[in-house]
Amino acid sequence: KQVTYASVHDFFTKISDFDENLNNIPSKRINPFKQSSYKKENLISSEDLKIWDTLLKDEQLNIPLEFRTLYWLIRSFPNRITEVLSMKRDCLKSFYSEYVIQIPTFKQSGGYGKPVIKSIPVVYQGHGKYVIDLIKKLQEQTNSNLSKYPIAQNQKHDYLFLIRRWNFYDDNGLNFRFNQKFTNQLYNWTGPKINDLLKQMGLIMNIRNKHDQLIIPTTHHFRHSAVTERLYTIGYTIEEVRRLTGHKNESMTKFYTHQLVEKHKKIHLGISQLSKPHESAVEFKGKILNLDERTTHQLSKDPRRYLTWEANGKKGVGICSDISGCNPQGTSVHFECYACDWFVPKIEYLSDYRAEYVYWEKVIERTSGDSRRAAHFENAVRNLSYLERIISICENGVAHFNEKLVLNKAKKDLGSYNWE
């Protein structure tokens, strides 16, 4: 009754916003039906959670792989525990320097039908690499367990977290043991069980903050913390948080999308460790700038032999200065040549680079508001960042060649002038 009444009240509240309806809402603001007592969870401070972080990254502690992996998944990304525990074993998709973690959620479908898949892009570097490697190890462990133990009745066969039941216990320190009654079967984990394990570990390890208070987090604490830390500590924008949490907001502003694109472009260019545009090689009408003499001489012998890549439907828009041979296999997902310092763009194709840039800008506009197309969005941002650099290289090259033409003309004019 309480839930139904609340739903009816929400309905009247929403339709009252339309001009055709009166503002008088027939339902009462305070729900007349008895409500269950609920103690609001207080957020745990980042400082206190870092104590848990330190322990869960300590490889010397006897912590099962599945618990360590689950901890860092709920700690690193603001997903509901039910979503993480529903991850499939094939949840990882690789995209060159990045991975995409696929996490199902029924939240967006109203709890009915097939789940919507949230795609969370993760750069394979630093902490991102640590989390991805944990998932890979757990995939191997789960596949190994499937070959040794049967799956209990009514359990999901394709889940990543398909485990043997165990509990933490105090053996002069943290240890764990399998439940003898269920040890030879595989089960899906549940949210309440994870909270029990967190409590067991917190009590055994006597995890306390500077005020000597026990720190016993719940899985929902991690979701709230992951959101707030991205927003205020790490510097994520509202839109980035929305994309990770899976909340839909069709009134997304271009301001947040722009922030997101700019931040990701810096990440992609930083990972590639490419030369600055004004230091990079560029070719114009057979002349190459910013390249060593030996390589320039070799390329000049037969420039068509080293032509590579395409832009705006035109092929051979650049030169590969790796004279030892490379033969890249390019895809629309990742511009391998554009992300390489060996690539020498040809200035005469500058308009084609710009047309390609406009194309990927439109892809970003189409995909930025759809959390289900996060991977497409990431690919477009990556391509845009590399194209932006290529365009800058060409523009710097144009400025250089124009300056050289002016100097040559000045020298010629000065040489022909009769000073006497």
pLDDT of residue 236: 47
Alpha helices, H only, 323-373:
350-367
Query: DSSP class of residue 230?
Result: I
d(CA 201, CA 217): 10
Q: pLDDT of 8-64, one tens digit each?
A: 888 887 777 676 666 677 887 788 887 655 455 567 887 888 899 999 999 999 999
Spatial distance between the Cα atoms of 404 and 347, rounded to a whole number of angstroms: 15
Burial of 300 (0-12, 13-18, 19+ CB in 10 A): exposed
Residue with tokens 């790490």: 234
Task: State the Cα–Cα distance between residues 100 and 122, nearest whole angstrom.
Answer: 6
Position 328 scores a pLDDT of 55
Give all domains of the chain, ordered by start, each with its CATH number: 1-38 (no CATH), 46-249 (1.10.443.10), 256-410 (no CATH)
The average confidence (pLDDT) of the chain is 79
Decide if pLDDT at 87 tops 80.
Answer: yes
Reference 275, options 380, 390, 352; nearest CA is 390
The string of pLDDT tens digits covering residues 355-404 is 999 999 888 888 776 656 666 777 788 888 889 999 999 999 888 888 87
* Structure confidence at residue 205 (pLDDT): 94
- Gap between the Cα atoms of 15 and 4, Å rounded: 17
C-alpha–C-alpha distance, residues 103 and 109, integer Å: 14
Whole-angstrom distance, CA of residue 309 vs CA of residue 328: 9
347, 397 Cβ separation under 8 angstroms: yes
Q: What is the dihedral of CA 213, 214, 219, 222, to 10 degrees?
A: 40
